[in-house]
Amino acid sequence: MPALTRIMQRAKFDNLPYVVSGKMVYSRLALEATEYAREHGKLHSFHHAVFHKLYGEGQDIGSWEVLSDVAKSVGLDADDMMRAVTSGAYSAAIETQMAKAQRLGLDGVPAYILNNKHAVVGAQPYEVFQRLLDEIDSGDDENIKV
């Protein structure tokens, strides 16, 4: 089953909104803004709000207007965030993260790294994680393919 179908079914099952905007989203600004939020102790609330804007409302998270609204909603200074991001303060951190993802062969989102060794890429059902955790727990995790 394609990942998008699984995501849509799961959202419906959990009674969560899920909007497919139909256009390509440039997430680089959101990634750098997230680093600002991390630095200011608002990582999780910012990330959650950006995720909702993208998937719950179908908004463009590559837009300063959207990111500004998110920043304000979680108690961040939106103007300071924009200044920091546009200054390039977080560019190196994002480049490092992207290079690491490429080295690990991660080519989709979401991506989870378990035990600093195993990658689960894409929207996966609970059973995939359970199987992987069981194999890690049993010590038989050398040849896991996810």
Q: For the chain, which residues score pLDDT lower than 50? A: 143, 145
pLDDT of residue 15: 75
Q: End of a domain among 68, 88, 103?
A: 103
Residue 30 class from Cβ within 10 Å (0-12 exposed, 13-18 middle, 19+ buried)?
buried
Beta carbons within 8 Å of 4's beta carbon, 6+ residues apart: 20, 123
Q: What is the structure's pLDDT at 4?
A: 64
Identify the three-state secondary structure at position 30: helix
Task: Tell me the residue range of the domain where 46 lies.
Answer: 3-103
Counting the structural domains of the chain, the total is 2
Residues 46 and 111 both lie in one domain: no
Q: What residues contact 11, with CB distance under 8 A and at least 6 apart?
A: 17, 18, 55
Q: Is the sign of the CA dihedral 66, 71, 50, 57 positive or negative?
A: negative
